[in-house]
Structure 1
Amino acid sequence: MPHPAYLVGAAGTGILLASLGVTFALVLRIRRLRAERERALSRAYEGFARDMHDVVGHWLWLASIKGELAHRKAKGDARLREDLEEVLQAVRQAAHAVRDVSKAAHRLSFSTEAARARTLLEGFGAYCSVRVDVEELPEVVSTALGAVVREGVTNMLRHSQVKRCAIELVEHGGRLRLTVVNDGAPRQEVPSTGSGVDNLDHRVGELGGTVRVAGGAGGWFTLIAEVPANFPE
């Protein structure tokens, strides 16, 4: 029969081990709760940053473009041009501030930019149709094509009297083809290069794709970007 002192020692050891086990479980539970709280706070911040970028950034972008157009039209009024330039500077600084706050949580996406383009063009009184025949895009492809849409819409608002626009994404011959076309373009030779097009060409080129522009009859302008359809996730 075990000695009583041995039984007391074994019981004490068991209690100690049980206490350590409970303490360890409590420590793990506290760490999990803290991690969940940090993730929730991070998600809340990211959601706020995305909303701020999408909502506030959208209207600042619109104000910037409309301000630029008004500035050009005020050729004969030096005072008005000066006032508009101050307004534009303020809008640009606010837009930069929004981007700085939200850049860590926001990434361009094709679906977001296509929806934004339709809303923005409707604000200018133009009709915009969006056709998408591709169900899902890898993130890097979505980001690159989102940049193409944004650049195309920005350019058409700055340089065209656009009334109609069409954005189309389809799969064709093993490649994804994004077409952004609008009317109201100036009747002049369409440049094949430029800072905006060159930047897009570089970005899309990194995915094995191409970007090209073309002018058409009746003041139509077309921007086309193509990337491989089987780009890895």
Structure 2
Amino acid sequence: MFLLSVTVVLAVRIRRLRAEQERAVTQAHEELARDMHDLVGHWLWLASIKSELAYRQAAGDARLRGDLGEALQAVRHAAHAVRNVSKVHRHLSLQGESMRAQALLASFGAECTVRVDAGGLPRDISAALGTVVREGVTNMLRHSAVKTCVIELAGHGGLLRLTVANDGASRRAPHSSAGDGLGNLHDRVARLGGTMHAAASEDGWFNLTAEVPWKFSE
């Protein structure tokens, strides 16, 4: 009986040690994924957009266009790999993506005004709205000659409304794209009970608006 008791105790301790080891390894992987995304992902994203713009401007030079096309494809593959490694562990936030968008647009010579106070938002809402900001900025750089952008969060009538607006847009709204396009944003916001609208106005501004239910504290 004594030997049996000792064996049971040792088995329990071994399981606990293994569990602690697995938690430590998982935490290390999560930290590595976050660091990789923060240090590499942003610059790959920027390189991808700038490479795409250069590719479009090189229409008259077939050789240069071919080289830029290969470089753009390589950057896209690298960015996709970074997202795959980090997407399980990294949590997007509305505040973080708004600040990132402001810095990115500034690097293109565009002015971005951010009026966002996302403190106290649940993680799922913050992540969904952060994704809207990221996709909206990516689309405006690809489909418009943006010089001015406004990112604003406001509350009204039991709803949170996020607006991502920019000038330099054509009257035709960009198509939804596969993967991380506008179509997926509609689905993601809808899962929160919200709605999303995208439209170009007569004055050359494009407005991407997402609304989600939110109970305001009195």
Query: Normalised by the size of structure 2, how large is the TM-score?
Result: 0.85
1:131–1:169 CA contact under 8 A, matched in 2: yes
Matched position secondary structure for 1:104: coil
Cα 1:134–1:62 shift into 2, 3 Å: closer
1:214 is aligned to 2:195: no
Q: 1:161 aligns with which of 101, 125, 145?
A: 145
Q: CA deviation at 1:59?
A: 0.8
Q: 1:178 aligns with which of 142, 145, 162?
A: 162
Q: CA deviation at 1:28?
A: 4.2
Task: State which drifts further: 104-113 or 168-177.
Answer: 104-113
Q: What does residue 226 of structure 1 align with?
A: 211
Aligned pairs for 1:1-233 (under 5 A) are: 16=2, 20=5, 28-186=12-170, 189-191=171-173, 194-195=176-177, 196-216=181-201, 218-230=203-215
1:134–1:170 CA contact under 8 A, matched in 2: no
Structure 1 residues not aligned, in runs of 5+:
1-12
| Identical aligned residues as a percent | 62
2:149–2:164 CA contact under 8 A, matched in 1: yes
Aligned residue pairs, count: 213
Question: How far does the alpha carbon of each residue in 1:151-180 deviate from its partner, in whole angstroms, 9 at most, with x for none?
Answer: 100011111222221211122110010011
The amino acid that maps onto 2:87 is K
Query: Normalised by the size of structure 1, how large is the TM-score?
Result: 0.80
Q: CA deviation at 1:45?
A: 1.0
Matched position secondary structure for 2:92: coil
What RMSD over aligned residues (CA atoms) do the two structures have, in Å? 2.5
Aligned-partner Cα distance in 1 for 2:154–2:88: 30
Q: CA deviation at 1:60?
A: 0.8
Task: State which drifts further: 198-207 or 169-178.
Answer: 198-207
2:110–2:147 CA contact under 8 A, matched in 1: yes
1:170–1:177 CA contact under 8 A, matched in 2: yes
Aligned-partner Cα distance in 2 for 1:90–1:177: 37
Q: CA deviation at 1:124?
A: 1.3
Question: How far does the alpha carbon of each residue in 1:200-222 deviate from its partner, in whole angstroms, 9 at most, with x for none?
Answer: 22221222211112334542221
Cα 1:130–1:29 shift into 2, 3 Å: farther
Cα 1:110–1:134 shift into 2, 3 Å: closer
Q: CA deviation at 1:26?
A: 5.7
Cα 1:220–1:90 shift into 2, 3 Å: same
Task: State which drifts further: 176-185 or 139-148.
Answer: 139-148
Aligned-partner Cα distance in 1 for 2:202–2:194: 27
Q: CA deviation at 1:25?
A: 5.4
